[in-house]
Amino acid sequence: MKQWKSFLAATCMAAVTAGSAWADGSVVIGSVGVPRHFNAAIQSGIFTFMPASSIFASPLRYSESWEPEPYLAESWETSDDGLTVTLHLKDGVKFHDGEPLTSEDVKFSIETIKANHPFKTMLAPVASVDTPDPLTVVIHLEHPHPALLLAMSPTLMPIIPEHIYGPDHGEIQQNPANLAPIGAGPFKFVEYKQGEYYKLAKNEDFFIEGKPYLDEIYVQMFPDPKSMLLALERGDVDMVPFLASPRDLKRLSGNDDLVVESDLGAAIGPINWIAYNTKKPPLDDVRVRQAINYAIDRNFIANVLLQGQAPVAPGPIVPGSPLANANVEGYDLDLDKANALLDEAGLAPGADGIRFTITGDTTAANEEMGRIVLEYMKTQLKKVGIGLELRLAPDFPTWAGRISSYDFDLTMDQVFNWGDPVIGVNRTYMTSNIRPNVIWSNTQQYSNPKVDELLEAAATEVDPAKRKALYDEFQEIVVDDSPIYFLNVIPYSTVYNKDLVGVPDGIWGAVAPMDDLRWKE
Partner 1 sequence: MDTYQKVTATVKRLIEAFLLVMAVVVFNFFLIQMAPGDPVEVIVGEMGGASEELIAQMRAQYGLDRPVLEQLGVYVGKVLTGDLGYSYYFNTPVTQLLLQRLPATVLLVMSALVVAVVVGTLAGTFSARKPDGMGSHVVTVLSLVGYSAPVFWIGMMLLILFASIWPIFPVSGMYSMRRPDGIGYYLDILHHLVLPAVTLATIYIAFYSRLARTSMIEVLGQDYIRTARAKGLPEGKVVWKHGLRNGLIPIVTMVGLQFGQLFAGAVLVEAVFNWPGLGRLAYDSILRRDYTTLLGILLFSAILVMIANALTDIAYRWIDPRMRKVKA
Which positions touch partner 1 (CB under 8 A)? 8, 11-12, 14-15, 18-19, 22, 24, 26, 28, 33-34, 36-37, 43-47, 116, 118-120, 173, 178-179, 193-197, 218, 220-224, 227-228, 230-231, 234, 236, 395-398, 400-401, 416, 418, 424, 427, 435, 437-441
Cis peptide before 282 (omega within 30 of 0): yes
Q: Minimal distance in Å, beta carbon 350 to partner 1?
A: 33
Amino acid identity, position 17:
T
CA distance linking residue 196 with residue 216, whole number of Å: 16
CA distance linking residue 296 with residue 335, whole number of Å: 9
Phi, psi of 319 (to 5 degrees): -55, -25
Left if phi > 0, otherwise alpha if psi is -120 to 50, otherwise beta: which for 403?
A: alpha
**Of 23 and 127, CB closest to partner 1:** 23
**Of 238 and 472, CB closest to partner 1:** 238
**Of 127 and 230, CB closest to partner 1:** 230
**Of 124 and 457, CB closest to partner 1:** 124
**Of 331 and 418, CB closest to partner 1:** 418
Cα radius of gyration (the chain): 25
Q: Minimal distance in Å, beta carbon 265 to partner 1?
A: 13
CA distance linking residue 401 with residue 269, whole number of Å: 24
DSSP letter at 312 equals B
**Of 10 and 304, CB closest to partner 1:** 10
Q: Is there a contact between 387 and 287 (Cβ–Cβ < 8 Å)?
A: no
**Of 77 and 191, CB closest to partner 1:** 191
**Of 26 and 131, CB closest to partner 1:** 26
Q: Is there a contact between 295 and 503 (Cβ–Cβ < 8 Å)?
A: no
Q: Minimal distance in Å, beta carbon 153 to partner 1?
A: 15
Strands in 26-31's sheet, in edge-to-edge order, are 187-193, 197-202, 216-221, 26-31, 239-243, 493-497, 258-261
Based on the number of CB atoms within 10 Å of its own CB, is 25 exposed (0-12), middle (13-18) or buried (19 or more)? Answer: middle
Burial call 378-404: b when 16+ CB within 10 Å, e when fewer: eebbeebbbebeebbbeeeeebbebbb
Q: Minimal distance in Å, beta carbon 498 to partner 1?
A: 19
- Going by DSSP bridges, is the β-strand pair 500-501/126-133 parallel, antiparallel, or unpaired? unpaired
Q: Minimal distance in Å, beta carbon 435 to partner 1?
A: 5
Q: Minimal distance in Å, beta carbon 268 to partner 1?
A: 9
Q: Minimal distance in Å, beta carbon 273 to partner 1?
A: 15
Q: Minimal distance in Å, beta carbon 93 to partner 1?
A: 28
DSSP letter at 174 equals G
Q: Minimal distance in Å, beta carbon 91 to partner 1?
A: 35
Q: Minimal distance in Å, beta carbon 356 to partner 1?
A: 27
**Of 46 and 73, CB closest to partner 1:** 46
**Of 116 and 303, CB closest to partner 1:** 116
Helical packing angle, 464-481 and 449-460, nearest 10°: 160
Q: Is there a contact between 220 and 28 (Cβ–Cβ < 8 Å)?
A: yes
